[in-house]
């Protein structure tokens, strides 16, 4: 993955140099919050493929988690008018208003993706749009997966209700504080359990910023305090789940290759990344909710095609019927467990 990212960055740098020398305007300029994000990397790979098929040109800038850097990159692109469309994977969603205002002043459409601006900022723009997942659905789908394991709320399975108290002792590993997917996935995985009739005791939660490394450390801290109490772990993405499971394997609490029902408690993620799927196959990760990069990439490419050609996003746009607010396309995924992979 690191080599692929390095090659992509080198390609992008060469492309940017070529553009600056030739004065050629790209169809779209991408601005990515972090080159090390596993899901965003897979999403970008699919977007590139779809844009190539449409004959659309593009360049890429990486912000390395710095909104200041991303603001500078965007300001330069707007000033130079180097692209027909700005596609922004924003670092800090609270900065979207300023970006939209500057893009509007330059009569440039801006497409946010994966990391949503505030709804009021998006709707205030003349030509601002968003493509992403449906985090409310994903949180609910995690709860539905857990419900299949724990059984009826009035008579929980003794396999998973280890202390027999009729409650689910839950740990949540959260993504990035303030991120819309973090807040909605974390909220609805719990509220859906309540709606299904379960009594839930959240014994610990921790922000792990979407990464394997922080997922490992978060689980280490939590497990040392609550190892005998944990009955279920929800993770806002697969990378944090993988990090948590790596710690549990190192601790010899989980066994790679064992039947999933023999592990001390189920861990459920979101994204269905390649590494997440491999952990399901290894009997470590119980399940995940697919964050459909392929479907999102197609919607993003379609937006870019329309906007770069000066077309209006109206009834002729293929995704128009899915846009309740006329600005947002939300893509639902599917639930994946080992059964779904092997069939």
**What is the separation of C-alpha 270 from the centre of its chain, rounded to a whole number of angstroms?**
8
For residue 259, the enclosing domain spans 135-291
Give strand ranges (E) for 153-291: 167-174, 199-207, 232-235, 267-271, 287-290
The count of domains in the chain is 2
Per-residue pLDDT of the chain (343 residues), as tens digits, is: 334 444 444 344 334 433 433 457 899 999 999 999 999 999 999 999 999 999 999 999 999 999 999 999 999 999 999 999 999 999 999 999 999 999 999 999 999 999 999 999 999 999 999 999 999 999 999 999 999 999 999 999 999 999 999 999 999 999 999 899 999 999 999 999 999 999 999 999 999 999 999 999 999 999 999 999 999 999 999 999 999 999 999 999 999 999 999 999 999 999 999 999 999 999 999 999 999 999 999 999 999 999 999 999 999 999 999 998 999 999 999 999 999 986 5
- Same domain for 191 and 96? no
Separation of alpha carbons 232 and 240, rounded Å: 15
In a domain, 210, yes or no: yes
In a domain, 342, yes or no: no
In a domain, 274, yes or no: yes
| CATH number of domain containing 84 | 3.40.50.2300
Task: Supply the pTM of this predicted model.
Answer: 0.87
Separation of alpha carbons 294 and 180, rounded Å: 21
Pairing between β-strand 287-290 and β-strand 267-271 as defined by DSSP bridges: parallel
- Same domain for 230 and 145? yes
- Same domain for 215 and 287? yes
- Same domain for 281 and 193? yes
- Same domain for 155 and 86? no
């Amino acid at each position: 993955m690191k080599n692929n990212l390095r090659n992509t960055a080198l390609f992008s740098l060469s492309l940017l140099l070529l553009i600056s020398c030739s004065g050629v305007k790209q169809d779209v300029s991408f601005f990515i919050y972090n080159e090390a994000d596993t899901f965003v990397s897979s999403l970008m790979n699919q977007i590139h493929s779809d844009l190539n098929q449409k004959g659309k040109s593009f360049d890429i800038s990486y912000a390395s988690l710095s909104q200041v850097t991303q603001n500078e990159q965007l300001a330069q692109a707007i000033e130079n008018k180097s692209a027909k469309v700005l596609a922004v994977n924003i670092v800090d969603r609270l900065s979207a208003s300023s970006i939209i205002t500057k893009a509007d002043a330059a009569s440039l459409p801006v497409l946010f993706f994966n990391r949503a601006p505030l709804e009021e900022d998006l709707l205030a723009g003349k030509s601002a749009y968003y493509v992403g997942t449906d985090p409310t659905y994903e949180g609910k789908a995690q709860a539905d997966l857990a419900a299949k394991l724990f059984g009826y709320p009035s008579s929980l399975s003794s396999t998973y209700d280890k202390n027999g108290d009729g409650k689910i002792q839950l740990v949540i590993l959260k993504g990035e504080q303030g991120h819309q997917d973090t807040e909605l996935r974390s909220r609805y995985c719990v509220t859906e359990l309540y709606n299904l009739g379960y009594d839930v005791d959240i014994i610990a939660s921790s922000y792990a910023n979407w990464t394997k490394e922080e997922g490992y450390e978060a689980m280490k801290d939590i497990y040392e305090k609550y190892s005998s109490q944990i009955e279920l772990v929800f993770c806002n993405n697969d990378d944090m789940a993988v990090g948590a499971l790596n710690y549990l394997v190192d601790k010899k609490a989980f066994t790679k290759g064992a039947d999933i029902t023999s592990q001390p408690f189920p861990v459920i993620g979101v994204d269905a990344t390649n590494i997440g799927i491999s952990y399901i196959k290894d009997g470590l990760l119980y399940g995940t909710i697919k964050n459909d990069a392929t479907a999102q990439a197609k919607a993003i490419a379609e937006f870019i095609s329309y906007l770069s050609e000066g077309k209006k996003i109206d009834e002729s746009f293929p995704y128009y019927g899915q846009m309740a607010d006329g600005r947002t396309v939300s893509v639902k995924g599917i639930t994946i467990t080992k059964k779904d992979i092997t069939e």
